[in-house]
Amino acid sequence: MNTEINLLERKPHKYTAPVIATAVFLLLAAVMAGVLVVQKHVYTEEIANQEHDLQELKASVTDHRKAGADERELQKLHQAITSIKANAVPASALYQRVLDYLPTSDRLIAYEFHGDHTFVVEARFSSLNAAADYVTILSDESYITDAELTGIDGRESSYQAVLTLRLDKDKLQREFGEHE
């Protein structure tokens, strides 16, 4: 029987602790890297979702503002139309009335408004009496507060007269009804 006796001392493993420590460190580093990659992915998705939600909210706010602006603009336009209607002079009806009192429509040379309460008529008449009669007829209208012959010029066989007429706008609007 041969028995071997080993009298040599066993050498402890010198590299065991550093190898184990390195392996644990690498394992922990790999786990940490994995966790960081997963967290980065989760946070990136969350940021993308929040940016998408923010864009939707911005679009919604913009639409809401546009709708509000459109509504305010519509109200302003309605107020402006109401104001214009309240202050409008029924010009074509007044023009027709002025034209009706002339013997023929070609006698009217010019017709012009000066502000809300004054208008000027320039017309041709066959005589001074015809011009005076025209001024009298216009003066009798309830909506004309003052009729003045501001100029007259004799031309060949006719007279060219300029009349300045002042209006009572309220009476004028009642006389001719609804605005144009």
What would the mean pLDDT of 10-33 be, rounded to a whole number?
87
Q: Output DSSP code: residue 179.
A: -
Is residue 25 helix, strand or coil? helix
Residue 180 confidence (pLDDT) above 50: no
Read out DSSP for 115-164?
TTTEEEEEEEESSHHHHHHHHHHHHTSTTEEEEEEEEEEEETTEEEEEEE
Sign of the CA dihedral 54, 56, 57, 63? Answer: positive
Compute the mean pLDDT over every residue in the chain, rounded to the nearest whole number: 85
What would the mean pLDDT of 2-12 be, rounded to a whole number?
72
Say how many C-beta atoms besides its own lie within 10 A of residue 57's C-beta: 10
Q: What is the pTM of this model?
A: 0.53
What would the mean pLDDT of 166-179 be, rounded to a whole number?
77
Range with top average pLDDT, 33-37, 99-103, 116-120: 33-37
Share of the chain above pLDDT 70, in %: 92
Alpha-carbon distance of 127 to 154, in angstroms, equals: 9
Residue pLDDT, tens place only, 112-165: 888 768 889 999 999 888 888 998 998 898 888 998 888 898 877 889 999 999
Alpha-carbon distance of 154 to 102, in angstroms, equals: 18
Helices (H) and strands (E) in the chain, counts: 4, 4
> Residue 95 corresponds to which tokens in the numbers above?
């023009």
Q: 94 pLDDT band (50/70/90 cuts)? A: confident
Phi-psi region at 179: left, alpha or beta (left = phi > 0; alpha = psi -120 to 50): beta
pLDDT of the residue at 179 = 45
